[in-house]
Amino acid sequence: MGDDHNRTHVTSPDDITREAIASFDGAGDVRLRQLMQALTRHLHAFVAEVRLTQQEWQRAIDTLTRTGAITDERRQEFILWSDALGVSMLVDALAVDRPAGATESTVVGPFWARGAPIRGYGDSIGERRSGAPVRVRGCVLGTDGAPIGGAAIEVWQNDTNELYSVQDPDAPEGHLRGRFFSLDDGRYAFVGVRPVPYRIPFDGPVGEMLEATGRHPWRPAHIHIAVSAPGYAPLATHIFDAESPYLDSDAVFAVKPSLIRTFDPRRPDDVEAPDGVDGTWYAVDDVDIVLVAEQAR
C-alpha cells in the first residue's frame, strides 16, 4: 500500500508539464486559454532544454523583481526587455500586414509619454537651445494617394545629450516632443534637432544582460513619429539618419531600410531656414506617411 501511495505522487518532468497545461482547460476565454497553454508549453520546454538549475531560476526571479522595482512612469524596463530581445519587433511584424506602398512601422520604445504639447504647422519641438535644427516635412496619405487632413502626428526624439525629456530632469517636460495635425491637403512639418545615436538604459537588469552577453546598448540616430486618423490603422514609425552608426546593429532590431533618410545640410542664409538658425541646418523632405484604411487591413 505504501508503494502504491508513493507511486501516485511520483511525477516526471513530462507529467508536470502535461498537468500544468491541462490546468487551463477550464478557461472560458478561448484566446486566454490558448495563450496560457502555449506559454506554459514553451516555458517548460525551455526549462527542460537548458536543464535550468535552482540557482539560475532564483537569479531569473531576482531579475524580474528588480525589473519591476526600476520601472516607473518615466522608465519602462519591461518594454526594454521586450525591445532588446526582439519581441517588440516580432509582435509588430506578425500583427501588421501592410499593403505595398504603406509606411512601415517599428517599435514605439519606452520613452513615449502622454501629454505632448500641441504645436502648429512647421513649429519647433525644441524648448531649449540644442543641436543643429532639422526640418521634417511631408504629407499624410492613404494608400490610394488621397491626402488625409486632420491626422494627429505625434513626434518625440532624444537630445544631443542622448536623453529624451522623460529621462532628463533638467529638460522642460515638453522638450523635443510635439503633437501636430495635418493640414487639409495632408501636409505636415516640424522642426527638431538632428538626432544622435544613444544608449538604451543600461544601468538596470537589461543593461546587465547586454554586458554579460557581449552586446552593445546603442541605437542609431532617429526621430519617432506616430500617426493616427479616423478610419485608418494607427502607425508608429521612425526616421533614421542615413549617416548614423549602428544602423546594422540596432540594440532593439528596429531598423527597416525604407525608414532610412538623408539629412540634407543647408546654409543659414537659405530662404527656407527655420527661424533663429545661425549655422548649418538640415532638411528631410518628402517624408510621406501612408496609412492603411481600417477595412483594408
Each residue's pLDDT expressed in tens, for the chain with a length of 297 residues: 445 555 555 589 999 999 999 999 999 999 999 999 999 999 999 999 999 999 999 999 999 999 999 998 878 999 999 999 999 999 988 876 788 899 999 999 888 988 999 999 999 999 998 899 999 999 999 999 999 999 999 999 999 999 999 999 999 999 999 999 999 999 999 999 999 999 999 999 999 999 999 999 999 999 999 999 999 999 999 999 999 999 999 999 999 999 999 999 999 999 988 888 889 999 999 999 999 998 755
pLDDT digits (tens, 9 = 90+) for 122-155: 999 999 988 999 999 999 999 999 999 999 999 9
Q: d(Cα 56, Cα 279) in Å, to the nearest integer?
A: 55
pLDDT reported for residue 276: 83
Residues of the chain by 3-state class (helix, strand, coil), percent to 5: 30, 20, 50
Question: Please, how many CA atoms are within 13 Å of residue 195, restricted to the half-sphere of its CB?
Answer: 29
Reference 13, options 38, 43, 55, 39; nearest CA is 43
pLDDT reported for residue 11: 84
Q: DSSP strand E in the chain: where? A: 133-142, 152-157, 177-181, 187-193, 198-199, 218-219, 222-228, 235-241, 260-261, 264-266, 281-284, 289-291
Burial code of 25-62, b = ≥16 C-beta within 10 A, e = fewer?
eeeeeeeeeeebbeebeeebeeeeeeeeeeeeeeeeee
Neighbours of 216 (CB within 10 A): 14
pLDDT reported for residue 95: 79
Reference 75, options 109, 110, 107; nearest CA is 110
Q: d(Cα 261, Cα 197) in Å, to the nearest integer?
A: 15
pLDDT digits (tens, 9 = 90+) for 232-280: 999 999 999 999 999 999 999 999 999 999 999 999 999 988 888 889 9
pLDDT reported for residue 297: 55
Superfamily of chain region 77-296: Aromatic compound dioxygenase (2.60.130.10)
Does this model's pTM top 0.85? My answer is yes
Cell of 72: 516607473
Q: d(Cα 89, Cα 277) in Å, to the nearest integer?
A: 37
**DSSP per-residue codes, 108-140:** --TT--S-PPB--TT-B--SS--S-EEEEEEEE
For the chain, the structural domain boundaries read 2-52, 77-296
Q: d(Cα 116, Cα 285) in Å, to the nearest integer?
A: 23
pLDDT reported for residue 97: 75
pLDDT reported for residue 30: 97
